[in-house]
Chains A and B, each alone.
Chain A
Amino acid sequence: MDFLSDHQPELLPGKRQLPPVQGVIEAPHGTTIVAVTFPGGVVLAGDRRATMGNMIAQRDIEKVFPADEYSAVGIAGTAGLAVEMVKLFQLELEHFEKVEGAQLSLEGKANRLSTMIRSNLGMAMQGLAVVPLFAGFDVDRAKGRIFSYDVTGGRSEESGYASTGSGSIFARGAMKKLFRDDLTEDQATTLVIQALYDAADDDSATGGPDVARRIYPIVTVITEDGFRRLTDDESSEIARSILERRMEQPDGPRAALL
């Protein structure tokens, strides 16, 4: 990124001149991203809907991307800018790895993302915010970790579970009731789809599983073995079994009262 800013600054998001605008620019926005840790790794998942005001702009947008072999980033906010930020972030991690011959630490990656969000602050003030969720497997500590951000680039590590985007409040509520320390990988993937279902249930800008069009949430798992995205068949199977249960209990699994 330092090299880019010296040689071709126009390629970097933070360096652009913004035209003066009245009101908020209408551009596609991404919506709910959730992450859950389990012993041995972390799961990061996102719904597939992009909205532009009241309109659904895209039904099958992808909002969760691998950052490198051991980390992934999910984005909420202005889709165009967010995708560009992820591309730049991926490039930077790969570039560092190739030049230095070693990977950045997970902490280092999280800090780098923080700087990139901060450089977008000007745009965020005009309504074009990008708020990602970063999850990765820390090879040194041998565990999955989650970092959440705010528009100013503030970074905080979350323990257990986290969410971002317009449906995040509902997703967080669901995860709070469902999360346990000893989840298996399968349980964790089920949990994130449950949380996304609840988010889609109460937030109009978050899309639920679309059975007719076969569009299901994107679920990624990062473990010691690296990054893996669940195939469409795998995520559709989980989503379908959740749907089936919800036919009987529309509000999903019930937690104990006390």
Chain B
Amino acid sequence: MSTPFYVSPQQAMADRAEYARKGIARGRSLVVLQYADGIVFVGENPSRALHKFSEIYDRIGFAAAGKYNEYENLRIGGVRYADLRGYTYDRDDVTARGLANVYAQTLGTIFSSAAEKPYEVELVVAEVGETPEGDQIYRLPHDGSIVDEHGSVAVGGNAEQISTYLDQRHEDGMSLADALKLAVQALSRDTNGTQREIPAERLEVAVLDRTRPQKRKFKRIVGRQLGRLLEVDGASTEAESSEEE
């Protein structure tokens, strides 16, 4: 009988974290930003059908980077959790904090269980409040920790660079068009610092809009509406770049 190699727990965890991080880094990044009337999700997504963003409940949205089948699984789990909560108690009793906790538990268990491979996903759970102060954004890395974020957050391959870029430029109370413009700029910066063009057809955009009269605040922005917002965007970009010069 051969003796198995000894691997220290530190090494084992580091290897698993490394594996998960590499998996997430292969995917494209996405950003979540607060703006005056809510929270906007922006990502580059060539597919029209396989969404990175989704509605979980009235005020709660979900964004994920990494492996599709794994985050889709978590998304459906989240919708089930939220719907069951809301049906058993009341719609107001479904909160992003509760949901983020459930996700953290799930991801944490999977990450530390030796029998399973760690999930290669990074999630964002966001809840829009009655006022900007009430907005909540949670980032959930692959290992099951929770990070409470404010203003802007980026996940996925190039996340660190993008979030630094966003942190420097994001302000409270931006308009939707401005926030969208900033997000697209951040996403279109390559690792080596060069800008590339992301056409509107390759953008996936969704908002949690607190001014929506319906109970369900989540809305995808597509087609003409997106084009219109980006146009405003284009004009103000030019204005701003000329200012910078």
Interface residues of A (CB under 8 A from B): 3-4, 7-8, 11, 87-88, 91, 94-95, 98-99, 101
Contacts and interface: CB of A to CB of B under 8 A. Distances in A.
| A-B pairs with lowest CB-CB distance, top 6 | A98-B79, A95-B83, A91-B87, A98-B55, A99-B76, A99-B79
Indicate the member of A3, A8, A87, A98 with the most B CB atoms within 10 Å.
A98
16 contacts: A3-B84, A7-B84, A8-B84, A11-B87, A11-B88, A87-B87, A91-B83, A94-B216, A95-B79, A95-B83, A98-B56, A98-B79, A98-B83, A99-B76, A99-B79, A101-B54
Contacts of A98: 54-56, 79, 83
A101 B83 contact: no
Interface in B56-83: 56, 76, 79-80, 83
Contacts of A99: 76, 79
Nearest to A95: B83
B86 interface: yes
A4 B84 contact: yes
Interface string B102-142: 00000000000000000000000000000000000000000
B150 interface: no
B51 interface: yes
A241 to B, nearest CB: 28
Nearest to B58: A94
B12 to A, nearest CB: 34
Contacts, number: 28
Contacts of B216: 94
B96 to A, nearest CB: 16
Contact of B51 (A3, A8, A101): A101
Contacts of A4: 84
Q: Is the interface of A mostly helix, strand, loop or mixed?
A: helix
Contacts of A87: 87
Contacts of B56: 98
A91 B87 CA distance: 7
Given A98-B83, A99-B76, 12 more contacts: A4-B84, A8-B88, A88-B87, A91-B87, A94-B216, A95-B80, A95-B83, A98-B54, A98-B79, A101-B49, A101-B51, A101-B54
Contacts of B86: 91
A98 B76 CA distance: 8
A4 B54 CA distance: 22
Contacts of B83: 91, 94-95, 98
Nearest to A226: B214
A101 B75 CA distance: 12
Nearest to B51: A101
B143 to A, nearest CB: 27
A95 B56 CA distance: 9
Contacts of B51: 101
Contacts of B49: 101
A87 B56 CA distance: 18
B57 to A, nearest CB: 8
A1 to B, nearest CB: 11
Contacts of A8: 84, 88
Contacts of B54: 98, 101
A237 to B, nearest CB: 22
A151 to B, nearest CB: 24
